[in-house]
Copies of this chain bind each other. A is one copy, B any other.
């Protein structure tokens, strides 16, 4: 059985707005050796599976600064403070990024964006019966274009390599399983 690693000490390195960086020194339960691990702390993230009454998935195209590329994704964002629930954050991000609103928002899945280097959780929120009711409200750091994609066409878009963001691909895997009625 895999054992947890006892923590010797933790040291904050810096605050970089969207994440804080720390170093944790831990002891291997297998070898007894001490290792330093860099960890990024960030608020939790949400991604939104938003569907129209015609079973279209609401997708957004935006420029991403890590890869310097335009990416086709689903709406999402950061849970701003401890008071905001992931569901409320998802509803707000969907409205601001696409102008759409729906009903019955609920958690479809929770997962880790990267448990090796990030401590946070991504909450995948599902919203159905979405209609466009608002104008977009973009941050000055955002550009977005909305695309409606029939749910049945999403798997072949993924297979074609049109969607490249791993966190979005993880969310679309849960969508695909849900559409096919696959549960645990």
Query: Which positions in A face B, CB cutoff 8 Å?
Result: 1-5, 13-14, 16-19, 21, 24, 26, 28-31, 33, 35, 37-40, 61-71, 109-119, 122, 138, 140-141, 143-145, 155-161, 163-167, 169-170, 172-174, 176-178, 182-184
Say yes or no: A164 contacts B111, CB within 8 Å. yes
Most buried by B among A4, A30, A33, A66: A66
Say yes or no: A158 contacts B143, CB within 8 Å. no
Say yes or no: A173 contacts B167, CB within 8 Å. no
A180 to chain B, nearest CB (A): 8
A116 to chain B, nearest CB (A): 5
Q: How many copies does the complex hold?
A: 2
A72 to chain B, nearest CB (A): 10
Closest 6 CB pairs of A and B: A160-B184, A169-B170, A173-B173, A64-B115, A37-B65, A67-B115
A17 to chain B, nearest CB (A): 7
Residues on B with C-beta less than 8 A from A117 are 18-19, 65-66
Say yes or no: A177 contacts B155, CB within 8 Å. yes
Given A17-B38, A111-B169, A156-B182, A26 and B67 contact (CB-CB distance below 8 Å): no
Say yes or no: B165 contacts A66, CB within 8 Å. no
Given A115-B66, A161-B109, A165-B115, A21 and B24 contact (CB-CB distance below 8 Å): no
Residue of B nearest to A110 (CB): B161
Given B29, B114, B159, which contacts A143 in the complex, CB threshold below 8 Å? B29
